[in-house]
Amino acid sequence: MGKLDFSPIADTTRRAEIVALLRRAILTGQLEPGQKLNELRIAEQMRVSRAPLREAMRELVQEGILTSIPYAGTFVIDVTAKDIDDAYSLNKVLDEFAIELTWKLRDQRFFDDLDRRHEAVKQATRDLDTTRQIETALQLHGLIYEWADNSVLLETWQRLTSRLQMYFALHQRARNEPVPSEDVHETYVRLLKGNDMRAAQRHAREHIDLDFEELLAYARSLEKRSSKGA
Amino acid sequence: MGKLDFSPIADTTRRAEIVALLRRAILTGQLEPGQKLNELRIAEQMRVSRAPLREAMRELVQEGILTSIPYAGTFVIDVTAKDIDDAYSLNKVLDEFAIELTWKLRDQRFFDDLDRRHEAVKQATRDLDTTRQIETALQLHGLIYEWADNSVLLETWQRLTSRLQMYFALHQRARNEPVPSEDVHETYVRLLKGNDMRAAQRHAREHIDLDFEELLAYARSLEKRSSKGA
DNA sequence: TCTTGTTAGATTGTCGACAATCTGCTTGTC
DNA sequence: GACAAGCAGATTGTCGACAATCTAACAAGA
C-alpha cells in the first residue's frame, strides 16, 4: 500500500537528503513494518538515480530500521514484542548509566535545556501533534545522553531511539485516540533537578514514563496476526 | 554434533565480501587510523567497480569504524584516549547487564561453549598469534551476550567489539612485544561457572581482564602526536 | 612578500545501462 | 488434478562513464 509521494531532492549530497527522508518516513510510520522498499519506484519519486538511494538504504540497514535480503529486497524491520521488550530493558540500564555520568556535570545550562525540552513536549501535547509529541519526549530523554560526555553511549542511545520512535509512532497510529497525556514527565524532570541521584536512577529503572507497558501490550496483540503481503 | 544443521547460504554479493575484507583490514590494523580510503585504488585492487565498494563503505561508516566527509573522502576513524575510555566504561555496564540476563539461562551447553572459547584463547596464546588472540578473547567475552537473549544488547555489543578489536590490535601492533599472557581469563571463566552472580558482575565491573588500563596508557601516549597525511 | 583569482588534476557523487537472480505463471506430462 | 520444467517479467546487483566538488600549484596585482 505504499503510495507515499516523495518530493524531489534539494541541497547537499543527495544521499544525505535521501537518508533523512527515508528515516522520517519510517519513524513516523508512513512506511509500515515489513513493507518492501522498491528501489526503482522510490528513486523515480525522488527524481534520483538508484546509486545514492541504495547507499542511503545501506546506512539505514546498519542503523537497524531496515533489513536487507540479497536479491530479494530491503524491508522495514518487523516489530515484535520481544524486540520492544529488549529495547526497553536495555534502555533502562543505559538511562541509569547516563544519569550517573551526567550527574556531576549538571549546571544551569543543563537545567535550562531540560525545561526547554520539557516545555516542547507540553506544547506538542497541547497541539495534539502526536508525532511531534513522541519526537520531543525522546529528545527530552536524550538530554542526559548528550550531557554524559560519552560518545559511544550517545551513539548507542541514538540507535535505540530510532527504533523506539518507530515503535511509539506505530502504537500511536494504531489507536488514533491521540492524547495519552497530562504531564507524565513531571517527576522525571523534578528528579533530574534534585539532589538525589539514586532516586533519579530508581525512577529511570522502575518507573520510566514513556509508556512502554502499554506499547508492549499493543505489540503482543499484534503478534497473533500473519505477516502481510505487498 | 551429529545432528544435521544447515547454516545459511553464503552471501554471494560482492558487497558483503568487500565489507568483510575491509573490516578485517581495519580491525587488524592493516589500514591505520586516520588513513584515507581511495575508492578508485581499492576498487581496482579488488577487481570490483566502485558501486559495491561505496555501499560497503557506507555500512562500515554506520558501523562506526569509518568516517566520511562529503567530497573529501572516507577515513578510518581516529582513536583517541577518550574514545577508548568511553568504550571501556560502557563495556563494563553492558557486561554487568549481560551477566544478569544470562545467569539463569546457563546450562551445560553454555559451560561447554565457555570452555571451548577459553581453550581457543589459550591456543592462540601458545601460537603467539596476537591477532587471533584478540579475536578469540573478544569471542570469549561475547558469549554472555549471545546467551543473554536480547537482540538489541547483542547488536550493541557487536558494534562496541569492532572498535575494541581495533584498539587492541593497534596496541599490540605498537609494542611488537607480542605475548601479554599467561591465562588472564581464568578468574572470569571460573566466576561464570560458579553460583555467585554478584561476584561475577563485580569482576566484570572492577577487574575486567582485557588489558584496558595498559591500552589506555598507550593511547594517551599517542595523543601528543600530530595527525599523519596520506 | 602577501594576497587573491585562476586553472589543471585528482577524487568523490551521480547517472543510465547491463547482468544476475528471484518469482510466478504457463506448459506439458503423468 | 498434481507436479516438475521452463519460460517471461520484474527487481536487485554491478558496471563504466559523466558531473560536481575539492586541492594545490601557479600567475597577477597590491
pLDDT value of residue B7:
61
pLDDT at residue A8 above 80? no
Q: Point out the least confidently predicted range of A191-195, B3-7, B95-99, B187-191.
A: B3-7
Residues of B within 8 A of A90 (CB-CB) are 97, 150, 152-153, 156
Residues of A within 8 A of B90 (CB-CB) are 97, 150, 152-153, 156
Query: Which nt has its C1' nearest the CA of B13?
Result: D13
Question: By the CB < 8 Å criterion, does A213 face chain B?
Answer: no
Q: Is the CB of A51 under 7 A from strand D?
A: yes
CB nearest to A89's CB, from B51, B87, B150 = B150
Cell of A195: 539532589
pLDDT at residue A196 above 90? yes
Q: What is the mean pLDDT of chain B?
A: 88
Cell of B41: 585504488
Query: Which nt has its C1' nearest the CA of A13?
Result: C13
Q: Is the CB of B6 under 7 A from strand C?
A: no
Q: Give B 125-144 residues with CB within 8 A of chain A.
A: none
Q: Is the CB of A42 under 7 A from strand C?
A: no
pLDDT at residue A156 above 50? yes
Nucleotides of D under 7 A from a protein CB: 11-17, 20-23
CA–CA gap between residue A162 and residue B137 (Å, rounded): 31
B131 pLDDT tier (thresholds 50, 70, 90): confident
Cell of A209: 514514563
Question: By the CB < 8 Å criterion, does A217 face chain B?
Answer: no
CB proximity list for A196: less than 8 A, separation 6 or greater: none
pLDDT value of residue A174:
78
Q: Name the CATH architecture for the domain at A14-76.
A: Orthogonal Bundle (1.10)
CATH 1.20.120.530 correct for A81-222: yes
Q: Where are the domains of chain B?
A: 14-76, 81-222
CB proximity list for A208: less than 8 A, separation 6 or greater: A91, A92, A95
Partner residues linked to A66 by β-bridges? A76
Q: Point out the least confidently predicted range of A36-50, A165-179, B49-63, B191-205.
A: A165-179
Q: How many residues does chain A have?
A: 230
Cell of A145: 545522553
A220 pLDDT tier (thresholds 50, 70, 90): confident
